[in-house]
Amino acid sequence: MNGAQLSFAWAIPFAGLLLSIAVVPLFSASFWHHHYGKFSLAWALALILPLAYVFGPAAAWHEVVHAVLLEYIPFVTVLFALYTIAGGICIHGRVAGTPLRNTALLAVGAALASLMGTTGASMLLIRPLLAGNEGRMHRRHAVIFFILLVGNVGGALSPLGDPPLFIGYLKGVDFFWSTRALLAPTAVVCAVLLLAFYVLDSSFARREAPHGDGEVVRGPFRIEGAVNLLLLLGVVSDVLMSGVWKPGVDLTIFGTPVALQAIAREALLIALALVSLRVTPRAVREHNAFHWGPIVEVAKLFAGIFITIVPVIAMLQAGRDGALAPIVQIVSGPDGRPSERAIFWTCGILSAFLDNAPTYLVFFNLAGGNARALMGESALMLTAISMSAVYFGALTYIGNAPNFMIKAIAEDRGVAMPSFFAYIGYAALALAPLLVAISLVMF
């Protein structure tokens, strides 16, 4: 598909789906909950059918299969494995949610996010956070900071940590590149957010009745389903293996070549998730209030996103010759080359509202799409893209896949979470000053 020949109209299905995700739940959350899959399918068909009419069924089939096999399936498989395995780990014993203990839990979650993914860390720790604060009057600020730290920023140090970095890994970025490049800024952002949370939580706690004596409220502290910790280690090993073991063998599936190591990676991830379902007692998942709703919602919506984003990527790859040339102009410096600071803000703002994984993919391609070059002479460009996709993803509920899940679990436990736009205000208040500082210091 030649992006220079595509008009802006081909981006309408992608924009329509993302607007649907942002707006429809505001008017009727129940309607959205029952029909979000139909919205995703409708917008996907709004692209596929015209694509088949204009370019022919074979071309449309090729583009859809390519997007599904090489982008969507690897993305959703790792999320499925992390969600399933982490959902089988149950932490018993409810510790009083004092400011110090809440801050410590957020710090642990942020550290774990890069090891077991923002999805895995979020599913593991959101329930203990909610349980420990059941007696508190003010709870939603804790969930908001949990989304910021555990669901997003903490996952900036590995491809397992956050979906956009996994997309980069699939495109050839070294597994430990983000660890080396983003460790210092991520540590600073996490430290400032943790300090801000502690001050805020302490202020709220002083206005409330004493919350216990700091001891375990109910039952001894223990971990059930600990075998899943080994399975999480298996996920890490599997992803690392797929980046090291490259036999150079491709299997052609519906006309699209798929690397053998990618097939092996996805098969093993699914196998690990199935083992978790098999060996974890049902009571453990019941105690976690584990259900498939959040991951099903992510899977259905992202299927539409990865299909409808195909022409958007093609137009951006066309650069100044494509219909999205204004975006190219915005991120270009006086010499015509992309500006790191402009990339940081443009990619970041779009990541917040268009979901950070496909946005990362768009700007990765806009910056040339060559992982070797982006890790070498253009390393600052890749740093800007990676940081903005991960950090800005925390600014909205749709910015990153775990955000939806955390919100859904918190509301299921009786926490009145902010509306879509109210959450943006709270998150921006906490994160925007740090983003401005990063932009001025690093770019």
Q: Average pLDDT by consecutive 10-residue portion of the chain (443 residues)?
A: 86 90 81 91 96 93 91 88 87 76 94 87 86 84 96 92 86 90 96 96 83 49 84 87 83 89 93 95 83 85 90 80 80 73 90 79 82 90 94 88 82 84 93 95 90
Question: Vertex 315, ends 311 and 316: CA angle to 5°?
Answer: 120
> Does residue 57 lie in a domain region?
yes
Q: What is the pLDDT of residue 223?
A: 82
Cα 231 to the center of its chain, rounded Å? 21
What gap in Å lies between CA 225 and CA 214, rounded to an integer?
25
Integer angstrom CA distances of residue 395 from 213, 424, 437:
35, 6, 16
pTM: 0.79
> Does residue 317 lie in a domain region?
no
Strands 256-259 and 90-92: unpaired
Q: What is the pLDDT of residue 305?
A: 87
Q: What is the pLDDT of residue 95?
A: 66
> Does residue 282 lie in a domain region?
yes
Are the beta carbons of 173 and 159 closer than 8 angstroms? yes
Q: What is the pLDDT of residue 216?
A: 43
Are the beta carbons of 148 and 390 closer than 8 angstroms? no
Task: Please report, as a single letter, which amino acid is at residue 67.
Answer: A
- Give 253's strand partners: 256
Burial class (CB in 10 A: 0-12, 13-18, 19+), 26: exposed
> Does residue 278 lie in a domain region?
yes
Q: What is the pLDDT of residue 215?
A: 44
Alpha helices per DSSP H over 208-281: 227-244, 260-279
Nearest of 247, 273, 275 to residue 261 by alpha carbon: 247
Q: What is the pLDDT of residue 94?
A: 62
Q: How many domains does the chain have?
A: 1
Structural domain harbouring 287: 8-309+401-442
Q: What is the pLDDT of residue 214?
A: 43
> Does residue 372 lie in a domain region?
no
> Does residue 384 lie in a domain region?
no
> Does residue 223 lie in a domain region?
yes
> Does residue 395 lie in a domain region?
no
